[in-house]
Amino acid sequence: MTMDRFQFLVEQHGVTFTSVQREAIEHGEGPAIVFAGPGSGKTTVITWRALYLVIHHGVSPSDLVIFTFTKKSANELKNRLIAIDPRLAQVQAGTFHSLFLRWLMKHHLLQKNICNEKQQRELVKQALKQLSISQQEDTVRLHLQAITLLKNSMIHYDQLKVTNERFREIQQVYQSYEMLKNKQQLIDYDDLLLDFEQALHHSLSFRKALIKTFSYIMVDEFQDTSKIQWLGLQKLAYPQANLMVVGDDDQSIYRFRGAMPEVITSFHQVFPQAKELILGHNFRSTDTIIAMSSALIEHNVQRKSKQFVGSKGGGPEVTTYAFANEWEEARKIAQEVSSLSESKTEESIAILARTNRQLLLLVDELLDRKIPMSIDDQQALLFHDEYVQIILTILLALRHESANYQPIAMKLIEQRFRILGNTQSAQEVFQSFTREPFTPAKLIPKIRSALALHGKSLDRFDKVALLEEKAIALGDLERMLAIAKEHQLTYENQADSKRVMITTFHGSKGLEFDTVFLIGLHEQAMPHHLAFQEGMRDRQRQLATEEERRLLYVAMTRAKKQLMVSFPYIVQKERVQPSPFLTQIGLYRKAKSEQHTVVKQTSRFRPVAQEALPAIDDCYRHKIFGFGYVKSVEIMSDKSHKVGIVFNKDEVRFFHWETVIELGHVSKVDELTKERT
């Protein structure tokens, strides 16, 4: 009767299982590891196994524990459990942090208050101030990230190997942070993991009492487990070992938080008798997308080999677009998205990039076109950035001397100098700006330099640089401010839209879309240059490369029907090549015959014809530097040209000619025109 009841509910919900899914669902006692690739129905296995254990094994729902890694996934899991059977609302499902906290509080083992994220940031800022280190937000974020990584790896500040000044700073900030936190009788959420593991280790009574409250454990996204979480799981599972873990080593992308992808491949070392299953059906993507993403991830060495079979059949080929620069990439992709939005109104679209900085220009283009979208992180809004707002405020104060902007601008400069420990007079610095001609494109770099508006990550610096480029394109401050206001209103009105999703590769984890655009896939972004630290050994470089490749794999496998990738040839005025990952899987080939992709090189910089080249002493007007005379013309290795132009005071500047012509930054003028101007 019990089996009939389970099957009745399965049929009632219209669910069908593959043979491997059913084997995983019907697994009873003992350890098991389930390798679940993208779109393989892992949540289906977890939720229906919970019901199977309740119905077939007579397990009380409250005796089941299911760990997840985010609040969002925990809530989704709970909703799916209840939808299957209301009794499953009693299952103990949640994140490691939430369940560990609940158990520590229940047994009166939590002696301190937990600080929230805002308090954590303030504590780090205090630690940085004590050490006379800049307290700008980028620095705070990087140190919080480092502390999380070290705690999840169970490394105390006095155990950290100091091999260079960077690690010395991390150690000092970590130590100061801990002392400040302890002085206020606080713990952070990473301390919860450490405290829980210590309680299990030192209190036999706590451990015995706790394991009596559940009989089966399941872990979702097991590949994201950190060292401290893994040790806790082992203690909780002993001695019955009724532990099932579900995950995919190919989707482990959080090593910077302490996740250990190798834990999933070493599960058998701890539980040699564990059953191993591979969910080999991909119910999400077309065969084309499965084949291309599989071809990518197979280049990783440290992984479990897996084969996937699609259920949707073929599909459009993966298309690669090559663009002249980031601006053109943004324009063309926005046009394509606009067209898709009009023709396929019911289908979901996502635009994904390695970093938020790469999404800035695209978001600008979409806002210009008033395309409904959902932005995962406001860092993708150019005019929302703190440093950009500082610069715009100072520009307003310089433009409108009689208005009330100057006191605000002065206050911002003073605040910035306090953060930097700069003893300069804010009044004198502001006055130095007033002595310059009011040209936003020229003033922005001066303001940026004077206030050191850049951080250890390149994101903020790049946003200011992009603001400078936007100033060149728009020219007028009032026009820039009008666009900024219009974009903010458009964003606020469309913030809840699910039509087009804008997020990073990391932010896309766990999501799926009909059509996916992966933008900015050049050599500096994928693999990202900041993933490789100076002095890395070959083994460390291999691990970093494989993590980056897994990240691209995750992004590719979000697509259900259509996948399009793109890259620019010019990034921040520097020439770049496509990501080596694209070359590895044939998405970028110089050969004419293409089996897996069509490379559309839209408006790539082509060498200027000989008759169109400037002649020595020709007069040109540059949007920023004004009038100048051509001094030299040099042919580069790729047949493009480097042109030297002499401006005022014999100042010589060199330009990649094809770039400035494409962007419209220079125009030829005759002497008469120059004199009249």
> C-alpha angle with apex 538: 535 to 544, nearest 5 degrees?
85
Tell me which of 41-50, 311-320, 464-473, 610-619 is least confident.
464-473
Residue 239: strand, helix, or coil? coil
Phi, psi of 14 (to 5 degrees): 65, 35
Side-chain-side CA neighbours of residue 560 (13 Å) = 13
**pLDDT given at position 454:** 64
**pLDDT given at position 458:** 43
Answer whether residue 598 shows pLDDT above 50: no
**262's tokens:** 């190798």
pLDDT band at residue 364, thresholds of 50, 70 and 90? confident
**pLDDT given at position 596:** 37
**pLDDT given at position 380:** 64
Residues 359-375, mean pLDDT to the nearest whole number: 83
Rounded distance between C-alpha atoms, residue 120 and residue 117, angstroms: 5
Nearest to 501 by CA among 635, 315, 353: 353
Which residue is associated with the tokens 């006191």?
A: 407
**pLDDT given at position 590:** 40
Q: CA distances (Å), 72 to each of 306, 510, 547, in order? A: 28, 10, 24
Answer whether residue 503 shows pLDDT above 80: yes
Nearest to 226 by CA among 57, 34, 381, 67: 67
Residues 156-161, mean pLDDT to the nearest whole number: 86
Beta bridge mates, 353: 504
Q: Which helix (H) or strand (E) holds 215?
A: none
Answer whether residue 605 shows pLDDT above 60: no
Predicted model pTM: 0.78
CATH code for residues 618-673: 2.40.10
Phi, psi of 525 (to 5 degrees): -100, -30
C-beta of residue 561 within 8 angstroms of C-beta of residue 286: yes
Residues 217-224, mean pLDDT to the nearest whole number: 94
Tell me which of 180-189, 389-398, 556-565 is least confident.
389-398
Rounded distance between C-alpha atoms, residue 69 and residue 229, angstroms: 11
In CATH, which superfamily holds the domain spanning 5-108+193-283? P-loop containing nucleotide triphosphate hydrolases (3.40.50.300)
Nearest to 512 by CA among 452, 561, 566, 583: 561
Side chain identity, residue 220: D
Nearest to 247 by CA among 271, 227, 264: 264
C-beta of residue 31 within 8 angstroms of C-beta of residue 241: yes
How would you class 383 by CB atoms within 10 Å of its CB: exposed for 0-12, middle for 13-18, buried for 19 or more? buried
**pLDDT given at position 329:** 92
Architecture of domain 319-372+497-585: 3-Layer(aba) Sandwich (3.40)
Give the residue with greater pLDDT, 497 vs 227.
227
Phi, psi of 332 (to 5 degrees): -70, -40
Answer whether residue 29 shows pLDDT above 90: yes
**pLDDT given at position 606:** 56
How would you class 57 by CB atoms within 10 Å of its CB: exposed for 0-12, middle for 13-18, buried for 19 or more? middle
pLDDT band at residue 243, thresholds of 50, 70 and 90? very high
Rounded distance between C-alpha atoms, residue 139 and residue 126, angstroms: 12
Side chain identity, residue 24: A
How would you class 478 by CB atoms within 10 Å of its CB: exposed for 0-12, middle for 13-18, buried for 19 or more? exposed
pLDDT band at residue 175, thresholds of 50, 70 and 90? very high
Give the residue with greater pLDDT, 375 vs 210.
210
**pLDDT given at position 190:** 92
Residues 229-247, mean pLDDT to the nearest whole number: 91
Answer whether residue 597 shows pLDDT above 50: no
**pLDDT given at position 49:** 96
**pLDDT given at position 379:** 67
**507's tokens:** 């932010």
Domain ranges of the chain: 5-108+193-283, 116-187, 319-372+497-585, 382-481, 618-673
Residues 31-52, mean pLDDT to the nearest whole number: 94
Q: In 475-506, where does DSSP find H-type helix?
A: 477-494
The chain-wide mean pLDDT, for the chain, equals: 84
Task: Give the alpha-carbon dihedral of 92, 97, 103, 106, to 10 degrees.
Answer: -110
Residue 180 CB: number of other CB atoms within 10 A?
Answer: 16
Output the 3-class SS for 560-577: EEEEEEEEEEEECCEECC
**pLDDT given at position 302:** 81
5-108+193-283 and 618-673: same fold?
A: no
Which residue is associated with the tokens 């005796």?
A: 63
**pLDDT given at position 401:** 66
Residues 213-222, mean pLDDT to the nearest whole number: 94
